[in-house]
Amino acid sequence: MLGKYTDLIFKFLDKGYKDIFFNELSSEYNQLIIRHDIDYDCEFAYKMAKVEYILGVKSSYFFMLSNPIYNVFSEKNKRYIQNIKRLGHNISIHFDFDVGDLEKEIDIFESFFDTEVDIISIHRPDLELLNQIDVEHTYLPKYFEDIKYFADSRGEFRYGHPIESEEFKKRKSIHLLIHPAWWMSDKSNPIEIIQDIIDRNHEMNKKFFRENSIPYREHSND
C-alpha cells in the first residue's frame, strides 16, 4: 500500500496542489491539507512521516493520550512523535470526549512534546459536543464544509476516491484524512492489518513482562 500512497500524493502534486497546514488555508483552489488521525500505531505514523518528508510534503498528525492500544509517553512512541515533528510535520491531539479532559490534555501534550497545540482532531466527533468547545478543530465548517473532505476511515474512500472527484479535476482545495495503518502495513486488508497490530502488541506485552517480572520470566523460560 505504500506505493499507492506515494502515487496518490504525486497525483496531487502533479495537478498543482500545494500542501499546507490547517492554519495556512487561504484559498478555495490548489491547496491540500493532509491530516492523519493515529488510532492504532505510532510506528506506522512515523513511517508515513518519513515517506512524506522524502516526497517533500508536510501534514498534521493527531495522537490520542487516552488510547488503550498505544502509549504516547513510552520511550519508543515518544521518539516516533518527536521525530515526526523534526521532519517538519505538525503534531497535536486526537481527542476522545468519552475519556479525556481537553484542557488538561493540551497542557500535558504541549509540555511533554515541547510544542504548541493550535488545532485538534476529534475521535468519532459528536456535533453537539463540537459546538461546546472553543478550541480550533478539524471539523470546523471552513475545513469540513467549505472545502471538500475525503477520509479513508474504514480502509477505503467510501464516498468516492479524491482523484476521481470533480473537486480534484477543478483543482479545488481538499482536506484529506489518511490513517497511516491502512497504507504503511504490508498486510492486504483492514482485518489483517488490525490482527497484525494485535499480534505485535501481544508480543510487546510479553517482552515487557519478561523484562520486569521475575515469575513470568522464569515461567517463560521453562
Q: Which domains does the chain have, with CATH numbers?
A: 2-186 (3.20.20.370), 191-222 (no CATH)
Name the pTM for this structure. 0.94
Q: Which is nearest to 47 in space by CA: 18, 83, 94?
A: 83
* Strand 90-95 versus strand 60-63 pairing type: parallel
Instruction: Using a pLDDT cut of 70, give the percent of the chain over it.
Output: 99
Non-local CB neighbours of 119 within 8 Å, separated by 6+ positions:
22, 23, 60, 90, 92, 135, 136, 137, 138
Check pLDDT > 80 for residue 28. Answer: yes
* Strand 90-95 versus strand 121-122 pairing type: parallel
| Cα separation, 94 vs 80, whole angstroms | 16
Non-local CB neighbours of 63 within 8 Å, separated by 6+ positions:
38, 42, 45, 72, 81, 91, 92, 93, 94, 109
Count Cβ atoms below 10 Å from residue 211 Cβ, excluding itself: 9
Q: What does the block give as the cell for 118? A: 493550535
How high is the pLDDT of residue 100? 74
How high is the pLDDT of residue 126? 79
Question: Who wins on pLDDT, 107 or 209?
Answer: 107
Q: What does the block give as the cell for 142? A: 471552513
How high is the pLDDT of residue 222? 59
| Cα separation, 72 vs 64, whole angstroms | 8
Non-local CB neighbours of 193 within 8 Å, separated by 6+ positions:
155, 181, 182, 185, 187
pLDDT in tens, 171-197: 999 999 999 999 999 998 999 999 999
How high is the pLDDT of residue 194? 94
Non-local CB neighbours of 125 within 8 Å, separated by 6+ positions:
139
